[in-house]
Amino acid sequence: MSRLIFLGPPGAGKGTQAAMLAAELSTPHVSTGEILRAAVSGCTELGMKAQSYMDQGELVPDELILGMVRDRLTQPDTKSGWILDGFPRNVSQAKFFDELLVAIKQAYDRVVNLEVADETLVTRLLGRGRKDDSEDVIRNRLAVYREQTAPLIDFYHNRHQLVSIDGDQPIEDVMAAIRQVIVP
Ligand code: AMP
Which among 11, 7, 17, 6 is positioned nearest to 118, based on CA atoms? 11
Reported as a pLDDT band with limits 50, 70 and 90, residue 57 is: very high
Distance (Å) from CA 145 to ligand 1 centroid: 10
pLDDT digits 0-9 by tens, 32-54:
999 999 999 999 999 999 999 99
- Is 89 touching ligand 1 by the criterion CB < 6 Å? yes
124 is catalytic: no
Cα–Cα distance list, 74 to 6, 33, 69, 124, 130 (Å)? 19, 18, 9, 34, 30
Q: Mean pLDDT over residues 78-82, rounded?
A: 95
CB 32 within 8 A of CB 70: no
User: Which residues are bridge partners to 7 per DSSP?
Assistant: 113
Distance (Å) from CA 54 to ligand 1 centroid: 7
The pTM for the full model equals: 0.96
For ligand 1, atom 1, name the residue with the nearest CA: 33
Which among 140, 74, 154 is positioned nearest to 111, based on CA atoms? 154
Q: Which of 3, 37, 72, 89 is catalytic?
A: 89
Reported as a pLDDT band with limits 50, 70 and 90, residue 96 is: very high
Q: Which amino acid is at 148?
A: Q
d(CA 175, CA 179): 6
CB 13 within 8 A of CB 114: yes
> Which residues have C-beta within 8 Å of that of residue 173, sequence separation ≥ 6?
none
Q: What is the mean pLDDT of the chain?
A: 96
pLDDT digits 0-9 by tens, 135-170:
999 999 999 999 999 999 999 999 988 999 999 999
- Is 11 touching ligand 1 by the criterion CB < 6 Å? no
128 is catalytic: yes
Pocket probe for ligand 1: among 54, 63, 144, 145, the residue whose CB has the most ligand atoms within 8 Å is 54
